[in-house]
């Protein structure tokens, strides 16, 4: 009991003694846990959305659209009848009348195909209503991807070719890729309404949905005699599409998102590792000394390890809990209500498993943060830990020689920065990762903007919302990375200030002004910032290529990219200003006295 | 402690410019213990041992001392003919002299330590209200520090490994000890005052 | 003593320094007035905790006094912004500490040239001056040693060389022999005597009698205030032979 009380006291005491460092460690864990939560949450977003949706909507293997041959007699149904008896065909749906129209509403003007449907379910291609109800006269059902992209909801009023309709439902389908992967968009109306939408210049077309005995034979089917029979019934402007083609179009959208997310989460993972290394390394110095102190008063190495572990676990658990909460709140903003496949909307769910995974990851971080100092504690003798708490900085003769030729702030900065080369490398890496992501985001944004311009010139409302969604994702990831890199920069600055307390106090005794000292401390961070920007720009373009983009088509303006360098430097300077100022203002007498 | 009536008497008769003859006598005797020496040889040995402190000890002192020791039958002089040397006498120990050397070397008496008198002075001054003990201490400290300064300078001027430097080091350390004791006195009398 | 003379290098008037508030108020330095003449070596002695080190920090502008003023070479130090104080420190002051405070990863030579570099000297000039100073403190052969490879006495001599790098008006030394053994103290005493002989103005805070004895003037401090002042320069002592017990 007494031992528990002791451990509790030591843990709380240490957290209180260095609140900023403890808080920063917690922040890093929170951010890592948040991104992990996000990643896992989005991973849960339907793993086989197309297959699910296809099964649920009795999706066709082949979709044939066309106009009945003028020469053909009777109803369209009769004209398409031979198709049903063709070899390999299991069932057919339709023919359904198709009218081309413009869907208009305030702020909306998109071309759509209005498909005429009755209330009778069909054997092939029966859309799945996800909101509202099925078609009725004057009531239109909107394909889910289209509704999402246009922001339409059940009850909204729209016009088709000028006629007033009310949105009565929203439905999923696999007869064509969901909007915006496929344009024009798709809506359903009653056959009567569809007929009224046709004009002499835009006559009704028909769609037949074919279910094959062997769906894998869809491509081959079209070249068979049965297909030839069909083409006699329909006029020349026939369009047909196999389900594989529809699927690949759907997935074009999904994979772009997933690729962005995948690469983003890799970068996040790297950055999180760098952060933990920085934070743990920063606490190491004082913890080694603490370990020596504890051992001197008779604590066993195991007790020491327990104290460290308890302390880090406490921070990790708090961080994981907060991270889960933040991640859970953020996940919906990453998901897309407009996705036109089953399982993608509306919000990714956090399963118990993924929560356990997040907590485990945080624990692993805590254990990692404990192992190194604990191992060191076991290795170092008590006396050495007490007398020589900080690893003496390594001497770099060339750097010292070079810096003595530089102005005072750079001299101080270079020498302070070189004290802890590993930490400097980690900071550089974390900044470089953030810059990389931002460069990629800028490039993507530029490509999307370019496309939007050309598409608005051509008067078409095309797939910019794919770009929009990916851009949103990439920017959000970029923002998270920037925050994490920022926390790293502040933390590194803080530890540099603490490590550099004695040398900076000494420099002030020898006549360096506070401004020179704080400029020196900032310079110690700006140099990694400069390197990071120089690495990050090409790395960002490389990442863009890797993710399937083409820098050559995106044509990111060179000035914008070059502007990343001063932007990074300014950001680092701003972030590190306050710790640097605090470091340069501490009473010299206090620092030297505490020796 | 050792009854040396005869020697003390000699000192009384003829003080030698402040030098404690007793010490010089004993040292001269001891230096002769191994082999007979000329007076000037003895003087050179002493000058080396005393360094800057031996400045006032000239050859005359040695001869006067040797004369007395001879009278007291502790040494005897032999005449040796030596061309070009003013000093023809070689001194050697008598049996009594040899005994005296042994007595001296085995004597462990130590010079009288300083504190008692000054301590009583402070107590008396405080009791009588004649003077502030703290002022007395400060004055004394100044005096001792000036001495320390001199001794230290002399010590610093000695070349490394000089035997006389060791003597000066002794002076410095004793003064330091006295100064530390004065510091303790100051602490006590300050507290007593307040 | 309150009149500022023309040869005065340092002048402190009514210096006070208080820490804490209410019941926890500590008066570290109380109404201290001090004039230091050019070329003078002044020692401030007293028991530990009497406020000596705080006084030295006040004199060097490392801490701001609660009341009173410090003038160094004619400029009022206590009212200056820190940047200006730093410039004064750089030009007119040299510090020597008990804990040496050398930069661990710099060699002896690099430590000594540091103040000159901070003051904007050319690297070549700074190096030349540093070599000269190291030779003066007898460490020319240790120029490329790191502090960890030097003895305590050698480290302190490097620190003194560093304090002299910009030819300061005044050297402030805080218990310079506090961490040294007897023979290292002797080395340092020799150096102090040399400095003094060259006319360097020094204020040293110490409780080492041997360092105190090198001073021209000795100031005793107790409970944050000056209680006594003794002039050692020109004082006459008993003859050395008497102190050694050779005379009656």
* pLDDT, tens digit (0-9, with 9 covering 90-100), for A110-123: 888 888 888 778 87
**Chain A residues with beta carbon closer than 8 angstroms to that of C95:** 509-510
SS3 letters across C24-92:
HCEEEEEEEEEEEECCCEEEEECCCCCCHHHHHHHHCCCCCCCEEEEEECCEECCCCCHHHHHHHHHHH
**Chain A residues with beta carbon closer than 8 angstroms to that of C103:** 503, 506
Residues A463, B184: Cα–Cα separation, whole Å = 93
Out of C210, C214, C230, closest to residue B142 by CB: C230
Whether B53 has its CB under 8 Å from any CB of chain C: the answer is yes
- Whether residue B141 and residue C230 make contact (CB cut-off 8 A), yes or no, is yes
Residues A323, B156: Cα–Cα separation, whole Å = 71
Residue with tokens 């100022």: A581
- Whether residue A514 and residue C82 make contact (CB cut-off 8 A), yes or no, is yes
Q: Which residues contact A215 (CB under 8 A, 6 or more apart)?
A: A61, A243
Q: How would you classify residue A578: left for phi > 0, otherwise alpha for psi between -120 and 50, otherwise beta?
A: alpha
The pLDDT score that the predictor gives to residue A249 is 63
Shortest CA distance to A493 belongs to which of A518, A514, A515?
A518
**Chain C residues with beta carbon closer than 8 angstroms to that of B180:** 209
Q: Which residue on chain C is closest to B138 by alpha carbon?
A: C228
- Whether residue C103 and residue A587 make contact (CB cut-off 8 A), yes or no, is no
Which of A406, A511, A518 would best serve as a mutation to test chain C binding (most C beta carbons within 10 A)? A511
CA distance to partner chain A, nearest, from residue C103 (Å): 7
The pLDDT score that the predictor gives to residue C176 is 92
For chain A, the chains sharing at least 3 beta-carbon pairs closer than 8 angstroms are: C
Whether A387 has its CB under 8 Å from any CB of chain C: the answer is no
Whether B180 has its CB under 8 Å from any CB of chain C: the answer is yes
Mean pLDDT score, B66-89:
81
What is the total residue count of chain A? 595
Whether C183 has its CB under 8 Å from any CB of chain B: the answer is no
What ranges do the domains of chain A cover? 21-56+285-392, 60-219+228-242, 394-586
The pLDDT confidence band at residue B16, using thresholds 50, 70 and 90, is very low
Q: Which domains does chain C have, with CATH numbers?
A: 8-232 (3.40.50.300)
- Whether residue B53 and residue C241 make contact (CB cut-off 8 A), yes or no, is yes
- Element at B62 (helix H, strand E): helix B59-71
Residues A479, A14: Cα–Cα separation, whole Å = 32
Whether A509 has its CB under 8 Å from any CB of chain C: the answer is yes
For chain C, the chains sharing at least 3 beta-carbon pairs closer than 8 angstroms are: A, B
Q: Which residue on chain A is closest to C57 by alpha carbon?
A: A589
Residues A313, A318: Cα–Cα separation, whole Å = 8
CA distance to partner chain B, nearest, from residue C10 (Å): 23
**Chain A residues with beta carbon closer than 8 angstroms to that of C117:** 404, 408, 411
- Whether residue B176 and residue C210 make contact (CB cut-off 8 A), yes or no, is yes
CA distance to partner chain A, nearest, from residue C235 (Å): 35
Structure tokens at B174: 């004793």
The pLDDT score that the predictor gives to residue C130 is 93
B 108-137 → C contacts, CB under 8 A: 111, 134-135
For chain B, the chains sharing at least 3 beta-carbon pairs closer than 8 angstroms are: C
**Chain C residues with beta carbon closer than 8 angstroms to that of B147:** 237-238, 243
- Whether residue C213 and residue B152 make contact (CB cut-off 8 A), yes or no, is yes
CA distance to partner chain C, nearest, from residue A29 (Å): 34
- Whether residue C238 and residue B147 make contact (CB cut-off 8 A), yes or no, is yes
- Whether residue A511 and residue C118 make contact (CB cut-off 8 A), yes or no, is yes
Residues A517, A412: Cα–Cα separation, whole Å = 7
Tell me how many helices (H) and strands (E) chain B has: 8, 3
**What does DSSP say about strands C67-72 and C75-76: parallel, antiparallel, or unpaired?**
antiparallel
- Whether residue C247 and residue B20 make contact (CB cut-off 8 A), yes or no, is yes
The mean of the pLDDT values for chain B is 79
Which of B50, B52, B146 would best serve as a mutation to test chain C binding (most C beta carbons within 10 A)? B146
Shortest CA distance to B34 belongs to which of B92, B75, B100?
B92
What ranges do the domains of chain B cover? 5-106, 115-193
- Whether residue B145 and residue C242 make contact (CB cut-off 8 A), yes or no, is no
A 513-542 → C contacts, CB under 8 A: 513-516
Residue with tokens 């449907």: A117
- Whether residue C62 and residue A395 make contact (CB cut-off 8 A), yes or no, is no
The pLDDT score that the predictor gives to residue A218 is 67
**Residue predicted with more confidence, C6 or C187:** C187
**Chain A residues with beta carbon closer than 8 angstroms to that of C86:** 508, 511-514, 516
Contact B61, B173 (CB under 8 A): no
Shortest CA distance to B140 belongs to which of B186, B188, B171, B190?
B186
Measure CA A261 to chain center: 4
A 554-593 → C contacts, CB under 8 A: 587-589, 592-593
Contact A172, A56 (CB under 8 A): yes
Q: What are the average pLDDT values for consecutive 10-residue runs of chain A, which has 595 residues? A: 72 75 76 73 55 74 71 60 70 81 81 83 80 84 80 83 85 74 79 81 78 73 61 58 66 60 69 72 65 67 75 82 80 56 49 77 75 66 54 71 81 79 82 85 76 50 49 74 80 78 85 86 86 90 77 78 89 86 80 67
- Note the pLDDT tens digit of each residue in C179-211: 888 888 988 999 999 999 999 999 999 988 899
Q: Which residue on chain C is closest to B167 by alpha carbon?
A: C244
Whether B14 has its CB under 8 Å from any CB of chain C: the answer is no
The dihedral formed by the CA atoms of A440, A445, A450 and A452, expressed in degrees to the nearest 10:
140
- Whether residue C237 and residue B147 make contact (CB cut-off 8 A), yes or no, is yes
**Do B and A count as touching (3 or more CB pairs closer than 8 A)?**
no
C171: pLDDT strictly greater than 90: yes
C10: pLDDT strictly greater than 90: yes
- Whether residue B20 and residue C190 make contact (CB cut-off 8 A), yes or no, is no
R_g of chain C, CA atoms, integer Å: 19
Cβ neighbours of A581 (radius 10 Å): 16
- Whether residue C82 and residue A411 make contact (CB cut-off 8 A), yes or no, is no
- Whether residue A404 and residue C123 make contact (CB cut-off 8 A), yes or no, is yes
Out of C210, C214, C245, closest to residue B111 by CB: C245
**Do C and A count as touching (3 or more CB pairs closer than 8 A)?**
yes
**Chain C residues with beta carbon closer than 8 angstroms to that of A392:** 104-105, 148
- Whether residue A514 and residue C89 make contact (CB cut-off 8 A), yes or no, is no
CA distance to partner chain C, nearest, from residue A578 (Å): 18
Domain B5-106 listed as CATH 1.10.10.10: yes
- Whether residue C166 and residue A511 make contact (CB cut-off 8 A), yes or no, is yes
């Amino acid at each position: 009991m007494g031992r528990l009380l002791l451990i509790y006291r030591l843990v709380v005491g240490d957290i209180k003694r260095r609140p900023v460092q403890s808080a920063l460690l917690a922040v890093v864990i929170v951010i890592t846990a948040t991104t992990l939560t996000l990643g896992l949450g989005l991973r849960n977003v339907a793993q086989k959305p197309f297959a699910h949706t296809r099964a649920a909507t009795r999706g066709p293997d082949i979709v044939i659209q066309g106009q009945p041959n003028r020469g053909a007699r009777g109803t369209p149904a009769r004209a398409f009848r031979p198709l049903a008896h063709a070899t390999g065909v299991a069932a057919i749906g339709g023919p359904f009348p198709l009218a081309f129209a413009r869907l208009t509403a305030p702020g909306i003007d998109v071309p759509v195909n209005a498909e005429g449907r009755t209330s009778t379910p069909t054997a092939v291609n029966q859309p799945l209503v996800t909101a509202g109800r099925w078609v009725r006269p004057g009531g239109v059902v909107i394909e889910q991807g289209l509704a999402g992209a246009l922001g339409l909801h059940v009850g909204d009023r729209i016009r088709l070719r000028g006629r007033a309709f009310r949105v009565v439902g929203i439905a999923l389908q696999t007869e064509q890729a969901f909007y915006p992967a496929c344009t024009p968009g798709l809506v359903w109306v009653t056959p009567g309404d569809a007929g009224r939408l046709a004009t002499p210049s835009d006559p009704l077309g028909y769609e037949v949905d074919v279910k094959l005995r062997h769906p894998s034979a869809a491509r081959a089917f079209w070249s068979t005699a049965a297909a030839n029979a069909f083409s006699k019934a329909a006029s020349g402007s026939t369009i047909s599409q196999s389900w594989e083609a529809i699927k690949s179009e759907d997935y074009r959208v999904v994979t772009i998102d997933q690729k962005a997310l995948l690469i983003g989460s890799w970068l996040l993972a790297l950055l999180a590792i760098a952060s933990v290394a920085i934070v743990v390394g920063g606490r190491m110095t004082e913890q080694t000394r603490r370990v020596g102190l504890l051992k001197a008063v008779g604590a066993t190495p195991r007790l020491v390890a327990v104290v460290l572990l308890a302390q880090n676990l406490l921070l990790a658990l708090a961080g994981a809990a907060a991270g889960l909460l933040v991640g859970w709140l953020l996940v919906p903003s990453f998901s897309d209500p407009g996705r036109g496949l089953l399982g993608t909307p509306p919000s990714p769910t956090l399963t118990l498993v993924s929560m356990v995974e997040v907590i485990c990851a945080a624990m692993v971080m805590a254990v990692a943060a404990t192992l190194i100092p604990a191992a060191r504690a076991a290795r170092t003798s008590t006396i050495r830990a007490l007398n020589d708490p900080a690893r003496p900085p390594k001497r770099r003769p060339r750097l010292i020689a070079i810096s003595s030729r530089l102005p005072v702030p750079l001299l101080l900065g270079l020498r302070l920065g070189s004290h802890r080369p590993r930490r400097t490398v980690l900071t550089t890496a974390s900044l470089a990762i953030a810059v990389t992501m931002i460069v990629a985001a800028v490039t993507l944004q530029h490509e999307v903007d370019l496309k939007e311009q050309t598409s608005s010139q051509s008067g078409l409302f095309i797939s910019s919302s794919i770009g929009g969604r990916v851009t949103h994702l990439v920017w959000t990831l970029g923002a998270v990375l920037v925050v994490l890199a920022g926390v790293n920069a502040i933390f590194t600055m803080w530890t540099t200030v603490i490590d550099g307390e004695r040398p900076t106090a000494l420099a002030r005794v020898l006549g360096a002004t506070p401004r020179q000292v704080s400029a020196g401390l900032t310079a110690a961070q700006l140099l990694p910032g400069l390197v990071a920007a120089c690495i990050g720009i090409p790395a960002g373009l490389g990442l863009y290529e890797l993710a399937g983009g083409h820098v050559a088509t995106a044509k990111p303006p060179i000035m914008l990219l070059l502007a990343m360098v001063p932007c990074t430097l300014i950001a680092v300077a701003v972030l590190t200003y306050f710790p640097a100022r605090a470091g340069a203002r501490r009473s010299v007498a206090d620092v030297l006295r505490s020796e | 402690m050792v009854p040396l009536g005869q020697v003390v008497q000699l000192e009384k008769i003829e003080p030698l410019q402040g030098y404690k003859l007793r010490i010089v006598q004993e040292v001269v005797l001891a230096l002769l213990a191994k082999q007979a020496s000329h007076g000037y040889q003895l003087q050179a040995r002493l000058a080396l041992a005393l360094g800057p402190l031996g400045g006032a000890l000239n050859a005359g002192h040695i001869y006067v001392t040797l004369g007395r020791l001879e009278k007291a039958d502790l040494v005897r002089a032999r005449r040796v003919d030596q061309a070009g040397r003013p000093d023809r006498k070689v001194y050697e120990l008598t049996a009594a002299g040899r005994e005296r050397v042994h007595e001296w070397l085995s004597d462990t008496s130590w010079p009288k330590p300083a504190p008692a008198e000054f301590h009583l002075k402070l107590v008396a001054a405080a009791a009588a209200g004649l003077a502030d003990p703290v002022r007395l201490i400060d004055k004394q400290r100044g005096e001792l520090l000036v001495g320390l300064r001199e001794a230290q300078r002399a010590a610093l001027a000695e070349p490394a490994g000089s035997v006389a430097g060791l003597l000066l080091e002794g002076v410095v350390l004793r003064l330091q000890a006295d100064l530390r004791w004065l510091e303790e006195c100051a602490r006590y009398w300050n507290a007593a005052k307040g | 003593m309150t009149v500022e003379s023309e040869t005065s290098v340092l002048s402190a008037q009514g210096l006070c320094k208080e820490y804490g508030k209410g019941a926890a108020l500590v008066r570290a330095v109380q109404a201290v007035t001090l004039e230091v003449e050019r070329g003078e070596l002044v020692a401030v002695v007293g028991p530990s905790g009497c406020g000596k080190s705080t006084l030295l920090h006040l004199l060097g502008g490392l801490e701001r006094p609660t009341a009173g003023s410090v003038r160094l070479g004619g400029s009022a130090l206590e009212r200056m912004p820190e940047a200006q104080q730093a410039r004064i420190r750089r030009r007119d002051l040299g510090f020597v500490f008990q804990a040496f405070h050398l930069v661990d990863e710099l060699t002896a030579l690099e430590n000594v040239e540091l103040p000159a570099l901070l003051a904007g000297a050319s690297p070549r000039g700074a190096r030349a001056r540093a070599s000269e100073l190291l030779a003066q403190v007898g460490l020319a052969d240790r120029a490329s040693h790191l502090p960890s490879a030097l003895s305590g006495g050698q480290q302190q001599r490097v620190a003194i060389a560093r304090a002299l790098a910009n030819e300061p008006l005044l050297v402030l030394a805080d218990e310079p022999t506090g961490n040294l053994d007897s023979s290292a103290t002797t080395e340092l005493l020799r150096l102090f005597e040399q400095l003094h002989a060259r006319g360097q103005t020094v204020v040293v805070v110490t409780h080492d009698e041997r360092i105190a004895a090198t001073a021209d003037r000795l100031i005793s401090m107790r409970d944050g205030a000056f209680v006594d002042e003794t002039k050692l320069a020109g004082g006459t002592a008993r003859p050395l032979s008497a102190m050694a017990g050779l005379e009656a």
